[in-house]
Amino acid sequence: MTGVHIVTDSSCDLTEAETTTNSIGVVPLSIRFGNEEFIDREELSVEAFYAKMASTGLLPETSAPSPGRFEQAFRGAAAVGASAVVCINLSGELSATVQSARNAATAVSGDIDVRVIDSRSLTGGLGTMVLEAAAAARNGADADAVVALVESMIPRTEIYGGLDTLENLKKGGRIGSAKAMLGSMLSVKPIIRIVDGAVEEAGKQRTRKRALEWMRDQLFAEGTVEKLSILHGEAPDIEAFLDMISERYPRDQIRLGKIGAVIGTHGGPGVIGMCYLRP
């Protein structure tokens, strides 16, 4: 395989079909339930993750891949003739994953040109960048052009998440405990936004239906958006949300998928994520 090879991590929430078809290398994070540890996607499917979280009541934890896992991916690309690797990763504000990739890039610097990008994003936002990078590479773009494309997408990427519970974010330390306690007391349905790679509160509603309506209104207020992705963590009301936005965005115009274990650990069951590019 000549040309630029694209590598990412398992927080991208792309399907196996998407990564295989586009020749995208995926380096997995690890998921831990108590004393049990699983390699994301390899030893724990999305469906098994949510079932295990529900049955055990344990809050899972995530850990970044070792630099060695990234080095293996980079050297594998070099071995099959790649001219360079562009590695696009989960926001450095949320994980040490991108630092592991940078350490690996340094280790292979004499053997292959590796460019590591902090996407400042996650799940569908990261996945969109990875797919667009793979398409550009497939069409002959060199490493500089692929990097420029991804970097142009970063400030245009918006991600909102409607959570069914604050417990996972609270216990995982991704938001302040005071806000989490307030949300729990009032039984609100929080909405988060990814801003500069970090999780911020975007709003809160008293009911799940109102939270989803808030997300719909936010999407519609943007005017026309590009590359809309809707991903969810086994949300029972995903069909209702798709119906809410179908007037502007029919299902055949949306990339629909599931939020995997890495982001699901913090978003919790029932999360619905809305990811798109502003024009």
Are 88 and 193 in a shared domain?
Answer: no
Are 174 and 225 in a shared domain?
Answer: yes
Are 141 and 163 in a shared domain?
Answer: no
CA triple 15-195-131, angle to 5 deg:
25
CATH at residue 55: 3.40.50.10170
Q: Tell me how many domains the chain contains.
A: 2
Residue spans of beta strands (DSSP E) within 59-208: 61-63, 84-89, 113-118, 157-162, 189-195, 198-205
Are 147 and 44 in a shared domain?
Answer: yes
Are 66 and 203 in a shared domain?
Answer: no
The model carries a pTM of 0.93
What is the DSSP secondary structure assignment for residue 207, as one 8-state letter? S
pLDDT of 165 reads 77
What dihedral do alpha carbons 13, 76, 151, 253 form, nearest 10°? -40
Which of 154, 170, 195 finishes a domain? 154
Are 137 and 223 in a shared domain?
Answer: no
Are 221 and 176 in a shared domain?
Answer: yes
Which of 124, 154, 184 finishes a domain? 154
Residues for the chain: how many in total?
A: 279
Q: What percent of the chain has pLDDT over 90?
A: 85
Task: Look up tokens 């991108």; give the residue.
Answer: 98
pLDDT band at 176 (very low <50, low <70, confident <90, very high): low
pLDDT band at 120 (very low <50, low <70, confident <90, very high): very high
Are 37 and 141 in a shared domain?
Answer: yes
* Per-residue pLDDT tens over the stretch 229-260: 999 999 999 999 999 999 999 999 999 999 99
User: 183: helix, coil or strand?
Assistant: helix
pLDDT score of 24 more than 70: yes
Are 25 and 130 in a shared domain?
Answer: yes
Are 140 and 18 in a shared domain?
Answer: yes
Whole domain around residue 95: which residue ranges?
A: 4-154
pLDDT of 178 reads 39
Are 128 and 240 in a shared domain?
Answer: no
Which of 129, 154, 179 finishes a domain? 154
* Per-residue pLDDT tens over the stretch 185-199: 556 888 999 999 999
Are 68 and 183 in a shared domain?
Answer: no
